[in-house]
Structure 1
Amino acid sequence: MTPEMKQYIRQFYLDEALDAAVYTVLAKKTKSEHNRGVLEAIARDEQSHKAQWASLLDALPRLSVFRVWFFIFLAKIFGLTFIINLMESGETKAIEKYKAVSEQFPIARKILEDESRHEAELAAMIEEDGLSYISSMVLGLNDALVELTGALAGFTLALNDNKMIGLAGFITGVAATLSMAASEYLSKKTDEGGKHPLKAATYTGLAYMFTVALLLAPYCIFSAPLVSLVFCLLTAALIILGFTYFVSVVRKSSFLRGFREMLAISFSVALISFLIGWGARAWLQIDV
């Protein structure tokens, strides 16, 4: 066995050991009997793969406990579907390496088949309440980012005073949160087969209000309106980055395309509103 091949197998072993350890812990921690069964099935698959790679090694490398608990922490924050898809994406990237060793070690081909078939099926079986309302969260975040970044940009030029901008932004944000939550409630209630309209409205409202709070924070921290606007836009970009990544992992969609699209829409509206605020201030000759 070449040193390069041995290194591949060591990495495969560590990957399977990590997956087995994470899924085993998550299975013990979950309250859902259904999800526990799914996670235990995935863990058994990973344990089997781990043992097969171990049989090809003279000495087994140690798995980092920190890595295990880091993924468990991510699962706690972002949910089971996110962490399963995230870990599976890492295995997808290793496909070329699997192919490189499959000629010399036929078990690699069998493990690769298992990874692409069994675990994808098991991951699809996970029941997670929050994912049922991901469209509601997307609606709340998208609307808050587009509407409030635009409003704050306009207020910044029109009012030129952080206290007034913050107050106007807060009133706009609260009113829009209640409006969006009510609209989502009515939309889900009138949909045929719509379930839990109150939960959908709550997810929309919380996502909207969370975004409002983050976008308003720079106006509470800084004294210069333009500096506050710059940090507000940076905050918006980071929110878009984080949420687009989350959605891309959960839905297995393109991250870059979603990020570019959401960023372009939000910042275009902010720019238009900024120019409207500047024009209104000049036209009305308001000096605040």
Structure 2
Amino acid sequence: MEKQLSKKIKELVLGFQINELTEALVYERIATFVKDEKDKQTLLRIAADERCHAEVWKSYTKEAVKPKMGQVRKWTLLARIFGYTFALKKMENGEKGATKAYDEISKEIPEAKKISEDEDRHERELLQILDEERLKYVGSMVLGLSDALVEISGTLAGLTFALQNNKLIALSGLITGISATLSMGSSEYLSAKSDGEEKPFKSALYTGIAYVITVTLMILPYLLLPSSMFMVSLSIMLLTVVLIIAGFSYYVAVAKELSFKKRFIEMAGISLSVSAISFIIGILVKQFLGIDI
């Protein structure tokens, strides 16, 4: 006679059963808009495995369950916006706290721990072979982002005290930003081409886009606030720099499984140090040259 699961264990197993079905549907939906055929087949293979896992749990619960459609829509949308590698690794990382639940389940289902370990290992191996195009150009995006953060934040900080007028600062920053975007894009194109990359123009495009978006976000406070509120604009700009660094560092840390803390501290330290030095230079230039605008 088959042993009946206790109420608590059955609830835990039902939760895993629902999660497996939900994730299977997420993988299947994302696979519909993935262009790379190899990645598409990898995602469909993971989806099939998830459905098999759900069937294993169903053999214990004896119940048919439905996936969480809200979660399916959430992860599918994130995959469209930020890329499927980021979304799927983030989704899988969110399950790391399930170890305690598996320990509970293994008291009544001895093979539960092995099922858990097999699932984690298999899914991790499959996720590692994803080869999303946008991640190939992370280096180009980092180049555009970091250069914009260092160069433009430093320029704006220096101009803030030297000019003390939001409109003049914004104008100077825009001219510098547009020129620097074109310069960075062309430099990246020539560099990628000399390194023998297949798509040097795409590398340049990723660099340019990262640069111009970063510049736009940093200049916005100077454009939107009154001319006299230049110190407020500087504070908002520096906060924007920190948020951009945090957001991008988090994205790269999840997608490429790197240290968020190390990357964030390094980028933030460089950008804010350059801004501080440039601000001091702005004060000195205004003081010693006696320029008053």
With the shorter chain as reference, the TM-score category is: over 0.9
Tell me the residue number matched to 1:195: 198
Between the aligned partners of 1:2 and 1:137, the Cα distance in structure 2 is: 52
1:245 aligns with 2:241: no
Match of 2:209 among 203, 206, 209: 206
CA RMSD between the two structures: 1.9
Shift of 1:62: 4.9
Tell me the residue number matched to 2:173: 169
Match of 2:77 among 63, 73, 92: 73
1:282 aligns with 2:284: no
Shift of 1:19: 0.9
| Deviation string, structure 1 residues 229-254 (Cα, Å, up to 9, x no partner) | 11111111111111111100111011
Range 49-58 or range 245-254, more displaced: 49-58
Q: Which segments of 5 or more consecutive residues in structure 2 lack a partner in the other structure?
A: none
Q: Percent sequence identity over matched residues?
A: 45
| Deviation string, structure 1 residues 73-102 (Cα, Å, up to 9, x no partner) | 000011121122112212333234324433
Between the aligned partners of 1:136 and 1:106, the Cα distance in structure 2 is: 49
Amino acid at match of 1:73: L
Shift of 1:58: 5.6
1:130 aligns with 2:168: no
Give the secondary structure class of the aligned counterpart of 1:56.
helix
Amino acid at match of 1:72: T
Between the aligned partners of 1:161 and 1:235, the Cα distance in structure 2 is: 19
* Structure-to-structure mapping, 1:210-225, within 5 angstroms: 210-223=213-226, 224-225=229-230
Shift of 1:186: 1.8
Q: Which segments of 5 or more consecutive residues in structure 1 lack a partner in the other structure?
A: none
1:147 aligns with 2:151: yes
Give the secondary structure class of the aligned counterpart of 2:286.
helix
Amino acid at match of 1:94: A
Range 174-183 or range 3-12, more displaced: 3-12
Contact 1:52 1:107 in 2 (8 A): no
Contact 1:80 1:126 in 2 (8 A): no
Range 202-211 or range 177-186, more displaced: 177-186
Contact 2:21 2:66 in 1 (8 A): no
Contact 2:75 2:88 in 1 (8 A): no
Between the aligned partners of 2:194 and 2:35, the Cα distance in structure 1 is: 32
Between the aligned partners of 1:43 and 1:6, the Cα distance in structure 2 is: 24
Shift of 1:257: 2.1
Between the aligned partners of 1:163 and 1:150, the Cα distance in structure 2 is: 17
* Structure-to-structure mapping, 1:33-112, within 5 angstroms: 33-57=37-61, 62-112=66-116
Give the secondary structure class of the aligned counterpart of 2:94.
helix
Amino acid at match of 2:281: I
Amino acid at match of 1:89: N
* Residues 190 and 29 of structure 1: CA distance in aligned 2, closer, same or farther (over 3 Å): closer
* Residues 174 and 34 of structure 1: CA distance in aligned 2, closer, same or farther (over 3 Å): same
Between the aligned partners of 1:109 and 1:141, the Cα distance in structure 2 is: 43
Between the aligned partners of 2:11 and 2:268, the Cα distance in structure 1 is: 41
Between the aligned partners of 1:171 and 1:251, the Cα distance in structure 2 is: 34
Tell me the residue number matched to 2:27: 23
Contact 2:144 2:211 in 1 (8 A): yes
Shift of 1:60: 5.6
Amino acid at match of 1:127: D
* Residues 283 and 27 of structure 1: CA distance in aligned 2, closer, same or farther (over 3 Å): same
Amino acid at match of 2:191: S
Contact 2:170 2:222 in 1 (8 A): yes
